[in-house]
Amino acid sequence: MDVRISGVTKLYEPDIRALEDVYLTVPKGEFLYLVGQTGSGKTTLLRLITREVMPTKGQIAVGEYNLRKMSAFDLALYRRDLGVIFQDFKLLPHLTAMENVAFVLDVIGVPPAEVKERTGEVLERVGMWRRRFLRPPQLSGGEQQRIAIARAVVNAPSLLVADEPTGNLDTHTAEEIMQLLLSINASGTTVLMATHNQFLVDAYRQRVLELHMGRVVRDEKRGRYELDGDF
């Protein structure tokens, strides 16, 4: 799915301008890095796309969905087409790693046999097959992150939204995960990835969008990480 954001401003309660007059078009199949200092609005931008946040002003459309007006049922359908890696993982602590992944497929009514197969496959790919019976509190930070990644990609989404997916990973594992995201991107999935990982951005060059205090300050086709925000 493609993403079309035009003239979006987001004000949070007291008077925090998280985003200001953002225009962004991401064609289907593109890979986009979202960079910027902490608090620059990356997560807010991604949350607009997952519709956890509504813009104060402006329009957002993803694929054929207009996010302004949407019934609860349509929202569910839309989110099934989305893969989301949350910055704070949002794993269910009382389910095992495997159940956390399978869960997404159960929710959308995939037959049990297929759930099992696809879950196993993706757990292998993120290297968590051996740890599949542990629950999140029993997993290391990096392991939890990999389960969150597995959950986001297991339903073969048309749009993948990844918020800081390598924050808890060592350089080597981060690269493996990056390979995984790239291969998913190669199969036609649009990928939006908010990241602070300078090493990855510089090593795997893609389109880079930099935010600074809620404004788009840079949009490069094959950009590098370095932030020019306030230096």
Ligand X SMILES: Nc1ncnc2c1ncn2[C@@H]1O[C@H](COP(=O)(O)OP(=O)(O)OP(=O)(O)O)[C@@H](O)[C@H]1O
Residues that bind other proteins (CB under 8 A): 12, 47, 50-54, 72-73, 75-82, 84, 86, 90-92, 94, 103-112, 115, 151, 155
Binding letters toward Mg ion, positions 93-132, x by CB under 5 A: ----------------------------------------
SS (H, E, C) the chain: CCEEEEEEEEEECCCEEEEEEEEEEECCCCEEEEECCCCCCHHHHHHHHCCCCCCCEEEEEECCEECCCCCHHHHHHHHHCEEEECCCCCCCCCCCHHHHHHHHHHHCCCCHHHHHHHHHHHHHHCCCHHHCCCCHHHCCHHHHHHHHHHHHHCCCCCEEEEECCCCCCCHHHHHHHHHHHHHHHHCCCEEEEECCCHHHHHHCCCEEEEEECCEEEEEECCCCCCCCCCC
111 binds, among Mg ion, other proteins, a second copy, none (CB under 5 to 8 A by kind): other proteins
Tokens, residue 192: 């939006």
Q: Which of 43, 100, 145, 197 touches Mg ion (CB under 5 A)?
A: 43
40 binds ligand X (CB under 6 A): yes
The binder of 198, among a second copy, Mg ion, ligand X, none, by C-beta within 5 to 8 A per type, is a second copy
Rank residues 40 and 50 by Cβ distance to other proteins and give the closer one: 50
By C-beta, is 38 or 71 nearer to a second copy?
A: 38
Region near ligand X per CB under 6 A, out of 120-128, 133-141, 153-161, 197-205 = 133-141
Q: For residue 45, what are its two tokens?
A: 């931008």
Interaction partner, residue 231 (Mg ion, a second copy, ligand X, none; CB < 5-8 Å by kind): a second copy
162-191 residues near ligand X, rule: CB under 6 A: 168
Q: Does 139 bind ligand X (CB under 6 A)?
A: yes
Rounded to an integer, what distance in angstroms lies between the CA atom of residue 129 and that of residue 143?
Answer: 11
Q: Which parts of this chain interact with ligand X (CB under 6 A)?
A: 12-13, 16, 18, 36, 38-44, 87, 131, 134, 138-143, 168
